[in-house]
Amino acid sequence: MIAIAAIWISVLLIGGGFALDRVLTGAITRNFDSSLEYVLIAMIRSSEIGPDGEVRLIEPLGDQRFLEPYSGLYWQISGTGQEPYRSRSLWERTLRPPREHVDDELHTYNSNQFPDEELRVLERNVLLPGSRTNWRFQIAQSRDALDLQIRAVRATLIPSLALLGLGLIILAALQTFYGLLPLRHIRRAIAAMRGGQNRRITAPLPLEVQPMVDELNALLAHNEKQAEEARLHAGNLAHALKTPLTVLVNSATGSDSELANTVRREAATMQRQVEHHLARARAVGRRGAAQARANVRESVDSVARAVGLLYPDVRLDAAGDRTLVARLERQDLDELIGNLLENAAKYGGGSVFVTIQRDGDMAEILVEDDGAGISPADRDRVIDRGVRLDSGKPGTGLGLAIVRDVAEIYGGSITLEESEDLGGLLVRLRLPAG
């Protein structure tokens, strides 16, 4: 950043300095030429043709330097076939144009015809009354005074621009250094967190950097929450498997005749527990995929076909928005809907109806059955892990618990209500809409 600023400042100052030098040099030169042009006009007005056809000045020019040899200020009048009429300051020298030509307008140029003196020359051709000769009037002055003024301007301009450029580069360097200082504070704060000294970046920072720090702190909190959830899931899984394993060990030790049945039952319980915690682990891992999307109706139709094969006597119907999309993985959505439809088919009276609708920024999936329903006092309790109200049918009581846990991981929820149309249970699953 500092190097780019330095290059850009240098380019701008060099370009601006060059343009400013051209402007100032042009102004000084025009002022120099104006004074010579004034003398040239005065010389033309004072000229006349003598009796022998020669040109002469009826009034001498007032500048004393025209009378001093090699003074640096000269004039000359010349014509074809005529002897040049010149100032005494030229002495034995003669002003010669760079080439033979006629200047009806004022012509200005630099001349090096004198080896030791560069001249600034103004000339013009004039046809005087009473003469057929085209006379060339020339006025010349040494460029020393002009060059001295230009050097004086440049001697001020170049150091000033150089000092300005240096100041701007130093200012850009300081601005860059202090502008990026908060990032160095963040780097040290992250190093302190890695060393276990801090858990968050709490130092006050500029408004331009604070949003990034907030996002970083949010990311740290998100990672800590995921780690805590992982530890909790591991503990829950260990606790869930502990009881079935104890039962298996006791049955095997006591030579229980029902050992085979006990092993199958407890193994099924352990399998269901493992599936429950694996579902939670998958949902936690996939929650970071912000672009995950799944069409709700496609998932409902797919799961309904599978549940219909397990419960051929149950009628499964679905209605609602066919384009509604939920923000979660399709596999997780299938598992949520699968648990709800399986429970409705297992505990209902033979009819299950699914409604898909949108409520604000949430996608709602309503699963209704015509079973006995659940009393309001038991609705909160039945969602807990392992709770079963009907022990006469096989199961582990984990279906609704899995739905609740996975839905909450994605920012959704599940509530149990009474179905007004079918009279049984209504399960309202809410998930973030895509």
Highest mean pLDDT among 108-122, 188-202, 245-259: 108-122
Question: Average pLDDT for residues 370-399, to the nearest whole number?
Answer: 63
CB contact at 8 A, 91 and 70: yes
Q: Where are the alpha helices (DSSP H) in 319-375?
A: 330-347
Residues 258-312: tens digit of each pLDDT: 666 777 666 666 666 666 666 666 555 555 444 678 999 999 999 999 999 889 9
Kindly compute the dihedral angle of the four CA atoms of residues 295, 298, 300, 305, in this order, to the nearest 10 degrees.
-160
Percentage with pLDDT > 70 across the chain: 83
CB contact at 8 A, 328 and 431: yes
Chain-wide mean pLDDT for the chain?
A: 84
Here the tokens at position 40 are 């040239």
DSSP class of residue 359 equals E
Give the separation between CA 296 and CA 321, rounded to whole angstroms.
Answer: 9
CB contact at 8 A, 332 and 410: yes
Class of residue 404 by CB neighbours under 10 A (exposed 0-12, middle 13-18, buried 19+) = buried
Decide if pLDDT at 252 tops 70: no
| pLDDT classification of 139: cutoffs 50, 70, 90 | very high
Classified as helix, coil or strand, 208 is coil
Give the separation between CA 335 and CA 281, rounded to whole angstroms.
Answer: 13
Q: How many residues does the chain have?
A: 434
Question: Which residues, other chains included, contact 194 with Cβ-Cβ below 8 Å and sequence gap of 6+?
Answer: none
Give the separation between CA 227 and CA 208, rounded to whole angstroms.
Answer: 30
Residues 319-377: tens digit of each pLDDT: 999 999 998 888 889 989 998 999 899 888 889 999 999 999 999 999 999 988 888 87
CB contact at 8 A, 364 and 357: yes
User: Bridge-partner residues for 85, per DSSP?
Assistant: 77
Residues 196-233: tens digit of each pLDDT: 677 788 777 778 888 888 888 888 888 878 777 776 77
**Distance from chain centroid for Cα 114:** 65
Question: Which residues, other chains included, contact 382 with Cβ-Cβ below 8 Å and sequence gap of 6+?
Answer: 374, 389, 400, 416
Element housing 42 (H / E): helix 2-45
Give the separation between CA 282 and CA 292, rounded to whole angstroms.
Answer: 13
pLDDT at residue number 249: 65
